[in-house]
A and B are shown apart, each in its own frame.
Chain A
């Protein structure tokens, strides 16, 4: 009877999405009201500086985070795959940050990255006084502090998926390559990594949808600052809905976020569908 919970969650999801879409076309402010303002909420959101900064940040953060966390995860997985001792312990350690709430991650990193308290001060106290690591308070670099904290949190997750992929590569093929005289680098490059493509795409899509909805991490780490330099769409939605009491505009921003998500998920779904069709034909 798997369809009962499925139906319930789908109804739940769809009804709230429809409700948000409806609100985004109304003049709602403090509380939801009926009425029709057309696309006025959308144009107001799109024209606001906050949203423009948030959208640019999302492109930068999303891209950098997905690529770097996948790369870090892959390297960790390859290193762990060398039949080393204590693999279980290391795997748990790398996976552990995933168990920590983003608010905790954000708060801890906000102390570590604060130039007056954290890493920079530590290095200064050790004697290297010209050392500078003040990205947290640098408008142009602050978004990278979020990338750093997010990678720390979730590269373990990518690692776990990649490790499973590495383990599922057919050992016979690798042995055959070894007999043919291929070195380890060549084996990784020509045989193992190409077989990881499907996993890479899965990792990228999961991380990307996480990147789009990032909220608690930024809120705890920089709270959108310095100034409004590290705004992200989810922060803008919260700010519009609850801090500025502009429900209609907040809903419009939320719908825009949904559209961005669909721009990622629909191609992914299409890709999966084509893959399955191909597999069925082969």
Chain B
């Protein structure tokens, strides 16, 4: 039980804190200590960060992780409260453009020296690196990567459709969905009904149709691109996807329907790589499904990046500063990234980690290869639905339009495109 472990760890941590001042004085040198907050408390996420904490302790550190379970916003509320009280954690979970936004409200740690010593910059995707050094200096470190547009195919649904070819383009995808429908798969698309779920459908469609249009419209908010034909085409594709989904899902989480997906009652799922970990935790086998990069009309993989990261907040205490250095070294360490990703089902941030060994799944190897290919063809872009492309306010304004469009079939693709451009204008 990860929760029990965390609690025990917390307890051990707090006892250690009480003992620490005397201990440090006696030693004369600071024993590394790290206060950290994240939302990872249970499941594979909880297990992974607990394992990271154990490594931290093995190196002689004191690990004080306070998980804030629930949505990311709840973790952020705690972080906000601690920052306003002048007592930020030494390190906290934060990702994407929020790193830049939050770094303006409290001083962060300059990690340039420790990053340079590890030679980390060479092995990180350039767009990703930029997010973690908003003012030119490294202040945060990415920990693991997911792609939000992986395509999961149910083996049983493929059998029903008498198909064995993995779709590459959206046209292939639409063909396969039709085949599944006529082969007796009730809902060719498996889905949940949450906001990010709907957002992922759109970003996968747009980036698959044109990564360049995605970069211009969604990442750079270019006005002309936002009114371009690719946006309308993406909305039209989303309508097709929505028509193949089970309308009864309401506001359910995607994991509610995994059994129906594996059973072949639902056919394909466009979901982040984390679904692999969820499927595995739910007791399903790798033989039940196939993982492939999401559809891409130019046949080269498009990778919608989502990366979890830690931001480091400035503290005066020498033991916390020592803890921050140790933590940074651990997070960049290929062995630690391997351990972490093998627990959660993500892929390492470092592009030089070898995934051929045991402990990696076929899905992870496919994902890592997709990332490498996508970087090579400049088709690795930042996920909008998971708050990597824009700050939360802009993302929420875009998803408002998308989620309404997914659920309201009377809205035309052209109307949706106009509304998206207006929403962006309003949130600027």
Contacts and interface: CB of A to CB of B under 8 A. Distances in A.
11 contacts: A30-B105, A48-B426, A49-B400, A110-B251, A114-B250, A136-B250, A227-B407, A228-B403, A228-B404, A244-B397, A245-B391
A137 B404 contact: no
B193 A228 contact: no
B102 A223 contact: no
B27 interface: no
Given A225-B193, A227-B403, 6 more contacts: A50-B400, A116-B249, A222-B250, A225-B403, A226-B408, A244-B393
A110 B98 CA distance: 33
Interface of A: 29-31, 44, 47-50, 110, 114-117, 134, 136-137, 139, 222-223, 225-229, 239, 242-246
Contacts of A137: 247-250, 407
Interface stretch (B73-81, B213-221, B341-349, B357-365): B73-81
A139 B404 CA distance: 9
Interface residues of B, number: 33
A44 B73 CA distance: 22
B396 interface: yes
A114 B396 CA distance: 26
A31 B104 CA distance: 10
A245 B400 contact: no
B351 interface: no
Contacts of B423: 49
Contacts, number: 80
Contact of B105 (A31, A48, A110, A229): A31
A225 B250 contact: yes
Nearest to B251: A223
B392 interface: yes
Interface in B361-396: 391-393, 396
Nearest to B399: A228
B335 interface: no
Given A226-B193, A228-B404, A242 B77 contact: yes
Contact of A110 (B77, B80, B250, B426): B250
B12 interface: no
Given A244-B392, A244-B393, A246-B393, A31 B84 contact: yes
B408 A47 contact: no
A47 B422 CA distance: 12
B193 A239 contact: no
B353 interface: no
Contact of A47 (B193, B249, B391, B426): B426
User: Which of B247, B248, B391, B423 counts the most A-chain CB atoms under 10 A from its CB?
Assistant: B248
Interface string B252-274: 10000000000000000000000
Given A48-B426, A243-B396, A31 B193 contact: no
A228 B83 CA distance: 32
A242 B70 CA distance: 13
A166 B392 CA distance: 53
B391 A139 contact: no
Given A30-B101, A244-B393, A246-B393, A228 B250 contact: no
A31 B77 contact: no
B73 A242 contact: yes
A77 to B, nearest CB: 34
B406 interface: yes
Nearest to A110: B250
B263 to A, nearest CB: 15
A227 B406 contact: yes
B102 A114 contact: no
User: Which of B77, B80, B391, B407 counts the most A-chain CB atoms under 10 A from its CB?
Assistant: B407
Contacts of A225: 193, 250-251, 403, 407
Contacts of B76: 242, 245
